[in-house]
């Protein structure tokens, strides 16, 4: 994913034989969480991701940066069962937009977020942190976009409160990769 205007790439892959079914999620949104409900937390790197609706309870969390093409690194196919945290974003719970990524599938088959379609607005996402605390978020918006139309500013732009972006791939496979990104926008609630 190019932070300057692209999307998360790397889902599916050439010659994928046991891909997860194509996923399509309708756009959904809910009212933002009450801004007074959860003050920002101190910086602490993520170590675990829990998304009960999708059956996700995974860690440790990989540290991801940018590759030489200035695209966001994604977990390797061998690490498709682990989430990654973009180290260019804040840590989950801090003021701003924390960015986590995980595969829907790879050439090896279904991956960590294979059940992303089960997630609805209002569902919890928990991020365990290195300091022993847990940042608890509620999904406010679900958006599926063509990777060519990735909403870079909406995902990476400044926010005045603690928010989370959880990104995966979706849509059909074309030229060896999923055509879309699915983005979960979530607010810190506790």
Q: How confident is the model at residue 33 (pLDDT cuts 50, 70, 90)?
A: low
Say if 103 falls within a structural domain: yes
Q: Is 26 exposed, middle or buried (0-12, 13-18, 19+ CB in 10 A)?
A: exposed
Question: Is 19 a residue whose pLDDT tops 70?
Answer: no
Say if 9 falls within a structural domain: no
Say if 10 falls within a structural domain: no
CATH number, domain containing residue 54: 2.40.260.10
**Alpha-carbon span 31 to 47, nearest angstrom:** 28
User: Are 96 and 43 in contact, with CB atoms under 8 Å apart?
Assistant: no
Q: If you average pLDDT over residues 68-97, what whole number do you get?
A: 94
What mean pLDDT is reported for the chain?
A: 88
Say if 22 falls within a structural domain: no
Domain tally, the chain:
1
Q: Tell me the Ramachandran region of residue 68: left when phi exceeds 0, alpha when psi lies from -120 to 50, beta otherwise.
A: alpha
Which residue in this structure is represented by tokens 């059956």?
Answer: 55
Assign 146 to helix, strand or coil: strand
Containing 63, the helix (H) or strand (E) segment is strand 62-64
User: Are 53 and 123 in contact, with CB atoms under 8 Å apart?
Assistant: yes
User: What's the pLDDT score for residue 3?
Assistant: 44
**Alpha-carbon span 152 to 1, nearest angstrom:** 10
Say if 18 falls within a structural domain: no
Containing 156, the helix (H) or strand (E) segment is helix 152-156
Question: Is 23 a residue whose pLDDT tops 80?
Answer: no
Question: Is 151 a residue whose pLDDT tops 80?
Answer: yes
Q: Which residues contact 71 (CB under 8 A, 6 or more apart)?
A: 1, 2, 3, 6, 9
Q: Which residues contact 50 (CB under 8 A, 6 or more apart)?
A: 56, 57, 58, 125, 126, 127, 128
pLDDT in tens, 92-139: 999 999 999 999 998 888 999 999 999 999 999 999 999 999 999 999
Residue 180 belongs to what domain range? 28-188
User: Are 50 and 126 in contact, with CB atoms under 8 Å apart?
Assistant: yes
Say if 14 falls within a structural domain: no
Q: How confident is the model at residue 5 (pLDDT cuts 50, 70, 90)?
A: very low
Say if 131 falls within a structural domain: yes
User: What's the pLDDT score for residue 70?
Assistant: 86
Say if 15 falls within a structural domain: no
């Amino acid at each position: 994913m190019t932070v300057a205007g692209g999307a998360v790439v790397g889902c599916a892959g050439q010659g994928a034989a046991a891909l997860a079914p194509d996923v399509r999620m309708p756009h959904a949104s809910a009212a933002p969480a009450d801004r007074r409900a959860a003050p920002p937390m101190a910086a602490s790197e993520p170590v675990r991701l829990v998304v009960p609706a999708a059956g996700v309870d995974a860690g440790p969390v990989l540290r991801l940066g940018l590759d030489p093409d200035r695209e966001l690194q994604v977990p390797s196919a061998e690490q498709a069962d682990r989430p990654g945290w973009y180290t260019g974003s804040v840590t989950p719970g801090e003021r701003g937009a924390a960015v986590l990524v995980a595969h829907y599938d790879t050439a090896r088959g279904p991956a960590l977020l294979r059940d992303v379609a089960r997630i609805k607005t209002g569902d919890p996402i928990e991020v365990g942190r290195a300091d022993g605390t847990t940042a608890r978020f509620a999904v406010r918006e679900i958006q599926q976009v063509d990777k060519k139309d990735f909403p870079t500013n909406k995902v990476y732009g400044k926010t005045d409160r603690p928010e989370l972006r959880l990104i995966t791939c979706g849509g059909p496979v074309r030229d060896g990769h999923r055509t879309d990104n699915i983005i979960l926008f979530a607010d810190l609630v506790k």
